[in-house]
Structure 1
Amino acid sequence: MFSRNNTCVLCDRENPDLFSQLAVGQSPKVSSLPSHDSNQRAVSVDHYDLRNMNGLQFMVFACADSRVCPTVVLNFRQGEAFTVRNIANMVPPYDQNLTISETLGQVEYIVVMGHSSCGGIKGLMSIKEDGTTST
């Protein structure tokens, strides 16, 4: 299941400045995001002409937790990333979304984005080697 992780890690070795390059032009920086205020909502949304976009550069696997929005956290514009959300941001050994994107040759970077206090990860980590879970 984890054999593809080694391939993804190679990207970091080939281009150690990848995440710094991705952060160029981001405002605010991910590391400087303010705490979330549930009473405040975004007042404007940027709209882009999706017809002129050349394809997706990013594919993001993220947790389905509604408190964490990968588009906001990573500061993506509309149409920049294909997002797959599921419990515990899992990337199964075979994922039809990944296969389609690879076949079309659109995705340059695959990002697996987790978050703190993830209940899905907590559940996965509680599975013992014999397959039983603790409660």
Structure 2
Amino acid sequence: MSPAIPERASPATVLVVDDEAAVRDFVRLALVHSGYAVRVAADARDALNVFAAHPGTFALVITDVLMPGRTGAELAEDIRAAAPGVPVVFMSGYSGGTSRQPVTLPPGAVVLDKPFSVEKLVRTVRRFVG
């Protein structure tokens, strides 16, 4: 049995971007249960709309690397241009260059390899937003 993750006193808001509904739901539920406020988006375009509609709201963006349309790396560039201080964490189901679509992530990028546990997700988020 995994140790319980204590809830946060004040919620930070995280934007979760993934084209797979099951992944979005898993991450959203895990973070909400851990005390974070969460908004979700199905792709980069949707994420940019949500981000723009709520300026100054997001403490962190978690995005899939490969999505239809724009990649997570391209989304990260747009997020950093709009809000340079907002960190971006990447999620990827591909490892070791097995992707069908090569993507170059920013230097020092933090990547959560799918599948990941709730504990690993929450530890990663806490590195950026406490």
Shorter-normalised TM range = 0.3 to 0.5
**TM-score, with length taken from structure 2:** 0.32
Alignment TM-score, normalising by the size of structure 1: 0.31
